[in-house]
Amino acid sequence: MGEINIPWSAIQSFAFILAPIILPRIINFIRYMRVQLSTRPNPRPLPPAASRALNVLFCSILVFLTLSFPSNPFAPSPSIFALTRSRLTTSLETVFSRLARLRDGGVLTEADTLLRSKLVSKEARKIYLRFGERALTECRFCKIDNPNTYALFYYPANAMIPHLLHMAVVGIATSASFAGREAGRWRNKFTIAGLILAAVDTYVVFMYDPIKSGSEAVRDGIEVPSALFQRMAVLRPLLLACFDVVLAGFIYVSATNRWFFTPPSQAEEVDKVVAASLASLTGASSKLHAASVTRNAVVRDRVLKDRDDAYWQTVVAMDGGGAVGGPPGVWEEEEVVRAMSRAMAGQGGVDLAKLGVSAAEYVNGVTAGLERESS
């Protein structure tokens, strides 16, 4: 890149313009972070759903890191200008004679010979530096005077497919049904960020010219030009891996309540209460069913039936005044008799009819279905 001299006065003026816009946002962000740190709950273990998202992102990070190494099997061949330390204006004979010394036996390969037949002009060399050997030698519809045709050949396999696969990984890792609510809250933000990254990559592929954007020495043919296709083959998967690392970090800190904690919404609270109520009702129903089965077994067994009858006869005898000749029960005490008389006369503030109806409704509700289950 060429040197850009910006005067200090211009920097000061630019800072004075942006300061009223940026400073309040920085202050609000600091306050927000303080509130988040002071109100966050205690950290919790990583939920299983969020763990699935992190496993997916971990695999994606490993794949993209592997693809960022120049020695991976999908990496393009190195630039012949970088291998031979040749400038853009170096003659083809010199470039390929240097390249032949680097090959086994000092002989050019068939691919080298085909590439030499294509590098017949300066424009062809520029296209080679942008899109690589495969685009220059294999494209059948491309034209030297229209570099965008080479971009159309280069873009799908080298840029579009990696970004599509990456967006699929982001979609899976931020799916609420697969990764949980904590990961799903980042879906929109990181989807937009991934689309922006893909748009920047598309702009670089179609618009960036390594010769025009290079230093003055590169444009004059003094220094070795850099190959855009080779740099992007390293930077593209490396940026995607870094993107996934950031996403995994956000999912981890939010899923464990270490940062970015948001309380459950009202709908989620209602769903939680309903789920707890349904669980309680299911437990109560199972207990009632067990009681019904037990009662059915007692009734069908003669020994247990005799014990049950004896128990209830004893209870009735106690409620009815006790055994003959026994001590008087609590129901025969004078204060209890007076209180019962007042209640029966309607003077105790108790509506016996309403109480009886409520008791009947309660008994019918509790024992509903027991007769059907025991039959």
Cβ count near 172 (within 10 Å): 16
Cα separation of 55 and 178, whole Å?
12
φ/ψ of residue 342, rounded to 5: -65, -40
Write down the pLDDT at residue 189.
92
Write down the pLDDT at residue 190.
94
Distance of CA 45 to the CA centre of its chain: 17
Write down the pLDDT at residue 42.
74
Distance of CA 359 to the CA centre of its chain: 53
Do the Cβ atoms of 93 and 108 come closer than 8 Å? no
Write down the pLDDT at residue 243.
96
Write down the pLDDT at residue 28.
85
Three-class secondary structure of residue 146 per DSSP: strand
pTM for the full predicted model:
0.64
Q: What is the DSSP letter of 326?
A: S
Nearest CA to 147 out of 135, 157, 133, 165 is that of 135
Write down the pLDDT at residue 37.
67
Do the Cβ atoms of 290 and 71 come closer than 8 Å? no
- Positions of the chain with pLDDT under 70: 1-8, 36-41, 220-221, 260-266, 268-269, 320-333, 336, 343-352, 359, 362-375
The backbone region for 325, taken as left when phi is positive above 0, alpha when psi lies in -120 to 50, beta otherwise, is left
Write down the pLDDT at residue 40.
66
Radius of gyration of the chain, Cα coordinates, nearest whole angstrom? 41
Write down the pLDDT at residue 222.
73
Q: What is the DSSP letter of 106?
A: G
Do the Cβ atoms of 251 and 182 come closer than 8 Å? yes
Q: How far is CA 255 from CA 43, 45, 142, 338, in A?
A: 9, 8, 50, 65
- For the chain, the structural domain boundaries read 40-263, 270-374
User: 64 CB contacts (<8 Å, ≥6 apart)?
Assistant: 166, 237, 238, 240, 241, 244
